[in-house]
Amino acid sequence: MISATGVGWKVGGAQILHDVSLTVGTGELLGIIGPNGAGKSSLVNILSGVTRPSSGRITVQDRDVTRSSATARARMGLARSFQTSALFDGLTAGENVRLAVQAAGPAPFSPFRAAGPASGRRVDDLLARVRMPGRGATLARDLSHGDRRKLELAMALASSPSTLLLDEPMAGVSAEDVDGLTEIIGEVRDSGVAVAMVEHHMHVVLGLADRVAVLHHGELLAVGAPAEVTSDERVQQAYLGEAL
Ligand X SMILES: Nc1ncnc2c1ncn2[C@@H]1O[C@H](COP(=O)(O)OP(=O)(O)OP(=O)(O)O)[C@@H](O)[C@H]1O
Contact status: 172 vs ligand X (CB under 6 A): no
Cβ proximity to ligand X: between 47 and 140 the closer is 47
Contacts with ligand X in 41-100 (CB under 6 A)? 41-42
Q: How far is the CB of 233 from ligand X (least distance, A)?
A: 21
Cβ proximity to ligand X: between 11 and 128 the closer is 11
Ranges of H-type helices in 76-116: 93-104
In total, the chain counts a number of residues equal to 244
Contact status: 11 vs ligand X (CB under 6 A): yes
27: left (phi over 0), alpha (psi -120 to 50) or beta: left
Q: How far is the CB of 134 from ligand X (least distance, A)?
A: 34
Question: Cβ contacts of residue 125 below 8 Å, gap of 6+?
Answer: none
* Total interface residues for ligand X by CB under 6 A: 11
Cβ proximity to ligand X: between 32 and 164 the closer is 32
Contact status: 207 vs ligand X (CB under 6 A): no
Judged on CB neighbours under 10 Å (0-12, 13-18, 19+), 27 is: middle
Cβ proximity to ligand X: between 136 and 218 the closer is 218
CA-closest candidate to residue 217, choices 44, 40, 72: 40
Helix, strand or coil for residue 23? strand
Point out which span in 10-18, 174-182, 202-210, 222-230 binds ligand X (CB under 6 A): 10-18
Q: How far is the CB of 100 from ligand X (least distance, A)?
A: 24
Q: How far is the CB of 82 from ligand X (least distance, A)?
A: 12
DSSP calls for 29-48: EEEEE-STTSSHHHHHHHHH
Contact status: 16 vs ligand X (CB under 6 A): yes
Question: Cβ contacts of residue 156 below 8 Å, gap of 6+?
Answer: 79, 80, 81, 100, 164, 166
Per-residue binding string, ligand X, 29-48, x by CB under 6 A, is -----x-xxxxxxx------
Helix, strand or coil for residue 91? coil
Cβ proximity to ligand X: between 34 and 169 the closer is 34
Residues making contact with ligand X (CB under 6 A): 11-12, 16, 34, 36-42
